């Protein structure tokens, strides 16, 4: 169904309990409420910084949150496309599997933590630990990111249009990081790498998906694992 022609359902978080709203978004039946059709677009009003808004969805639904949200918004998302018209608290889109989450404002720490798939876009800044332990998600940040971002990042891509804080990519595995601005410092085993044609192409695709197609991919630097921590090295024994 064309989303524009479908009738949007509005749920007011000031009037409907959060658990009820989340149950409806997850396609479950709740006494006293009309069930939401799978592809009915939904707008959530009055989030007022509440935690766990729009979590655990597993259908291709469009959800717009009209305001700022608290912790773990759109966590564990599968297939749904969520737009947050405000700031997000700790752990937005944590453990996302697929679908997309767009934060129009800033995100607090641990945005996209442990996420396996999907696309997380933060138009503003993301704070510390963005993409910590990411496992396949793509994250595009319009502004800058805080310290310890992409810590132990295993797979996926992290794109930063601004600057990165201290210890970027510490103990990184096979995730790829693209930063346009400065990096305060690199974490253990994270190094700058050559931008080969496939990386320029990959980055252009990610920027386009996030709505930043005017950026020149060549103005970014790629960072990734030097792969020196993959195996125990006897010379490091004293460090343990």
Partner 1 sequence: MCGIVGLHLRNPALAPRLGELLTGMLCEMQDRGADSAGIAVYGDPRWSPAGHVTVSFVPDASCVELTSGLAAEAVAGALATAYGADVAVVDAGPTLVAHVPGGDAELDRLRGAVKEAFPEALVAGFGADVAVLKGVGHPRDLAEAYGLPAAQGWQGVGHTRMATESAVTPGGCHPYAVGPDQCLVHNGSFSNHASIRRDLVAAGAEFDSMNDTEVGARFVADRLAAGYTVETALKELLTTFDGFYTLLVADGDSFAVVRDAIACKPAVIAEHDDWVAMASEYRALVGLPGIAEARIYEPEPERIYAWTR
Binding footprint of partner 1 on the chain (CB under 8 A): 48-50, 68, 70-71, 87, 89-90, 105-106, 108-109, 127-128, 146-147
Closest CB 1 distance from partner 1, rounded Å? 33
Cβ atoms 64, 86 nearer than 8 A? no
Nearest to 70 by CA among 95, 94, 52, 43: 52
Backbone angles phi, psi at 82, to 5 degrees: -115, 130
Closest CB 118 distance from partner 1, rounded Å? 24
The distance from CA 198 to its chain's CA centroid, rounded to whole angstroms, is: 23
DSSP code at position 174: S
Closest CB 61 distance from partner 1, rounded Å? 25
Closest CB 49 distance from partner 1, rounded Å? 3
Closest CB 75 distance from partner 1, rounded Å? 16
Backbone angles phi, psi at 123, to 5 degrees: -70, -30
Closest to partner 1 by CB, 90 or 119 = 90
Closest to partner 1 by CB, 3 or 184 = 184
DSSP code at position 109: T
Closest to partner 1 by CB, 95 or 109 = 109
Closest to partner 1 by CB, 72 or 220 = 72
Closest CB 86 distance from partner 1, rounded Å? 9
Closest to partner 1 by CB, 68 or 135 = 68
Burial label for 79, CB within 10 Å (0-12, 13-18, 19+), is: middle
Closest to partner 1 by CB, 27 or 124 = 124
The distance from CA 66 to its chain's CA centroid, rounded to whole angstroms, is: 18
Find the DSSP H helices in the chain.
18-25, 197-210
Q: Buried b vs exposed e over 148-172: b needs ≥16 C-beta within 10 Å? A: bbbbbbbebbbbbbbbbbebbbbbb
């Amino acid at each position: 169904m064309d989303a524009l022609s479908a009738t949007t359902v509005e749920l007011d978080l000031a009037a409907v309990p959060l658990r009820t709203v989340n149950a409806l978004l997850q396609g479950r039946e709740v006494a006293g409420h009309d069930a939401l059709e799978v592809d009915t677009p939904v707008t959530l009003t009055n989030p007022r910084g509440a935690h766990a808004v729009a979590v655990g969805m597993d259908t291709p639904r469009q959800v717009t949150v009209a305001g700022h949200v608290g912790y773990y918004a759109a966590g564990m998302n599968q297939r749904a496309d969520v737009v947050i018209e405000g700031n997000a608290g700790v752990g937005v889109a944590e453990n996302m599997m697929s679908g997309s989450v767009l934060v129009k404002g800033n995100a607090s720490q641990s945005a996209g933590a442990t996420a396996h798939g999907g696309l997380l876009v933060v138009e503003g800044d993301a704070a510390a630990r963005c993409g910590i332990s990411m496992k396949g998600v793509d994250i595009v940040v319009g502004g800058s990111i805080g310290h310890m971002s992409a810590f132990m990042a295993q797979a996926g891509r992290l794109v930063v249009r601004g600057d990165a804080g201290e210890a970027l990519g510490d103990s990184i595995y096979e995730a790829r990081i693209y930063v346009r601005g400065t990096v305060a410092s690199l974490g253990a085993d994270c190094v700058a790498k050559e931008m080969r044609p496939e990386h320029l192409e990959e980055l252009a695709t990610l920027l386009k998906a996030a709505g930043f197609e005017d950026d020149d991919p060549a103005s970014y630097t790629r960072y990734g694992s030097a792969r020196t921590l993959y195996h125990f090295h006897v010379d490091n024994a004293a460090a343990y």
